[in-house]
Amino acid sequence: MWEKKPVLLLVLATCAILVGTIVTMVLPFLWVNTEADRIEGVTPYTALQQEGRDIYIRDGCNNCHTQTVRPLVPEVLRYGDYSKSGEFVYDRPFLWGSKRTGPDLARLGGKYPDAWHYKHMESPRSMVPKTNMPDYGWFSDNLLDPQMIQRKMETLGFPFTADEIKALQGKNEMDAMVAYLQKLGSDIAWRNTTKTEIVGELVNPYVAVDHDTMEPWEDLYQDNCSACHGEHMEGVIGPQLIGEDYEDEILFEIIYSGIADGGMPSFSSLGTDKVWKLVNYIKYYNQDEGH
């Protein structure tokens, strides 16, 4: 019936489209990037970090990695606090991505020490045997071009100093990448807001375990810990775990909660039983060195 009244149809159709445009485009533009949306502590990338970001884009890391934690319980438990729009104000372009062949990297900064990243980028399989992430060791062979980076910083309007540009001399693409990865998601103090809580009393459920019981627990150690603490607990990126006399509860706490800012991740996701198994495995290994 409306199609017989062209003027009315035109007016109604225009209204429908206008309402749609206002709701989906105009209002979000008013909400996003306003002063209220700014987050204190979110800073622009340094010259070194920005270059790492450009290499990240050049090599298509975003084809396998997202950079946004959605506000869903499983995501927050796995990755940390969900992403806020104000965290992306210096991302040009943003790298939210849509495909997670590898894990999300939005909360990566500070999760591992620098040395972990150098080793992992050089050879992901030396740390995570089954990963399909390619090796990027060749990043270390490519020196940075400070003049080029300075021009990029000027174009983006990010602050930089002459000393900062000078310091890029002799640095390579690997250095830039690691600097960038350590910046990701570390501008807001989310780690303090999602502290893991240990529920219940800490009592070691495994007493006087023997060698045979312990044997299968070795895989837990090799899969989760050996990349940083060494195949024989001799220490690599993290300290050695042999020759130490740990108390059960302290060892449990370290493994379960991690050491924030120390580069030791939390393993609460393994669940308390597996963490207790690790506690006992490490203690047993210490009593029985050379096994």
**What residues make contact with ligand HEC under the rule CB under 6 A?**
56, 59, 61, 63-65, 101-103, 105, 108, 111-113, 116, 124, 128, 131-134, 136, 177, 181, 224-225, 227-229, 237-239, 241, 244, 251, 254-255, 259, 262-265, 267, 278, 282
Rounded to whole angstroms, the Cα distance separating 129 from 149 reads: 35
**Closer by beta carbon to ligand HEC, 33 or else 286:** 286
For ligand HEC, the nearest residue by Cβ is 262
What distance, in Å, lies between the first and last C-alpha atoms of the chain? Answer: 87
**Closer by beta carbon to ligand HEC, 168 or else 227:** 227
Rounded to whole angstroms, the Cα distance separating 4 from 78 reads: 57
**Closer by beta carbon to ligand HEC, 88 or else 276:** 276
* Dihedral, 119, 171, 111, 56 alpha carbons, nearest 10: -90
Whether residue 170 contacts residue 63, with contact meaning beta carbons closer than 8 Å, is answered with no
Rounded least distance, CB 200 to ligand HEC, Å: 20
**Closer by beta carbon to ligand HEC, 56 or else 88:** 56
Rounded to whole angstroms, the Cα distance separating 158 from 219 reads: 47
Rounded least distance, CB 118 to ligand HEC, Å: 11
Rounded least distance, CB 175 to ligand HEC, Å: 13
Which residues make Cβ contacts (< 8 Å) with residue 269, sequence separation at least 6? 77, 78
**Closer by beta carbon to ligand HEC, 116 or else 160:** 116
Q: Which of 38, 33, 55, 67 is nearest to 177 (CA)?
A: 55
